[in-house]
């Protein structure tokens, strides 16, 4: 089980998820508590990037007033991650997940951003690819790139993945040996048929 955004959850919330996970444990599939793997990860912001691939450090916009919009499943988590960067969010607009933007909507966002004194527009990479512009109404448009950090369970995950890789290699070797044996048996059968044909001709 992968627990994401644990850096934005309280200890009580993480413990509650882990408790539910233990209740769902299937004894037929898990031998012990260690087999019930829970990896905790977070997705920290790394840089701001525009649609042309140019990027700037997070520090460049620290304490700047920005306008934020997004069309993702958890818009509040996105907003919180930006607030943790010490950005001043002067305007925020959340759209439904997988939203496709119209020019009128983006014009309205830019106008609201300008009225709020925002110098930059910020969104997610998922949203930026639908817009494909570096500026809107002369306001720079950036997306936030994120990385991945393991908060807990990385070593155990690495061990499990290594075990799984070894198992796959062993199964591949067994399959190759079986196919080789079957090929040898087919060759032997063909040789026997050839010998029988020669005897019939004699």
Domain with residue 92: its CATH number is 3.40.50
Quote the pLDDT of residue 29.
Answer: 47
Model pLDDT for residues 126-140, shown as the tens digit of each residue: 999 999 889 888 999
Residues 49 and 136 in one domain: yes
Model pLDDT for residues 100-123, shown as the tens digit of each residue: 999 999 999 999 999 999 999 999
Residue 200 resides in a domain = no
Domain that holds residue 61: 45-145
Residues 7 and 68 in one domain: no
Q: What percent of the chain has pLDDT over 70?
A: 73
Total domains in the chain come to 3
Q: Inform me whether the pLDDT recorded for 8 exceeds 70.
A: no
Q: In angstroms, rounded to a whole number, what is the distance separating the alpha carbons of residues 112 and 33?
A: 52
Burial string for 25-53 (b: 16+ CB within 10 Å, else e) reads eeeeeeeeeeebebbbbbbebeebbbeee
Residue 39 resides in a domain = yes
Q: In angstroms, rounded to a whole number, what is the distance separating the alpha carbons of residues 58 and 145?
A: 10
Chain mean pLDDT for the chain: 82
Sequence-separated (6 or more) residues with CB below 8 Å from residue 98:
71
Quote the pLDDT of residue 140.
Answer: 96
Residues 90 and 175 in one domain: no
Residues 124 and 37 in one domain: no
The pTM (predicted TM-score) of the whole model is 0.64
Region of 98 (left: φ > 0; alpha: ψ -120 to 50; beta: rest) is left
Residue 202 resides in a domain = no
Residues 111 and 50 in one domain: yes
Structure tokens at 192: 């026997």
Whose CA is closest to 128, among 202, 60, 43, 69? 69
Residues 49 and 133 in one domain: yes
Contact (Cβ atoms closer than 8 angstroms) between residue 56 and residue 120: no
Of 189 and 42, the structure prediction assigns the larger pLDDT to 42
């Amino acid at each position: 089980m992968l627990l994401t955004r644990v850096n934005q959850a309280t200890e009580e919330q993480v413990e509650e998820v882990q408790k539910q996970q233990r209740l769902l444990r299937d004894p037929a599939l898990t031998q012990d508590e260690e087999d019930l793997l829970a990896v905790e990860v977070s997705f920290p912001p790394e840089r701001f990037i525009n649609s042309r691939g140019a990027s700037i450090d997070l520090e460049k916009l620290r304490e700047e007033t920005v306008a934020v919009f997004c069309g993702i499943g958890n818009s509040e988590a996105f907003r919180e991650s930006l607030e943790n960067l010490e950005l001043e969010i002067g305007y925020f607009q959340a759209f439904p997940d997988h939203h496709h933007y119209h020019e009128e909507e983006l014009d309205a966002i830019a106008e609201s951003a300008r009225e709020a004194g925002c110098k930059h527009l910020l969104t997610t990479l998922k949203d930026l690819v639908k817009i494909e512009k570096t500026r809107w109404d002369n306001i720079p448009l950036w997306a936030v790139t994120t990385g991945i950090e393991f908060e807990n369970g990385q070593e155990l995950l690495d061990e499990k993945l290594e075990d799984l890789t070894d198992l796959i290699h062993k199964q591949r070797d067994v399959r190759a040996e079986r196919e080789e044996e079957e090929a040898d048996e087919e060759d032997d059968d063909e040789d026997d048929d050839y010998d029988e044909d020669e005897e019939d001709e004699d």
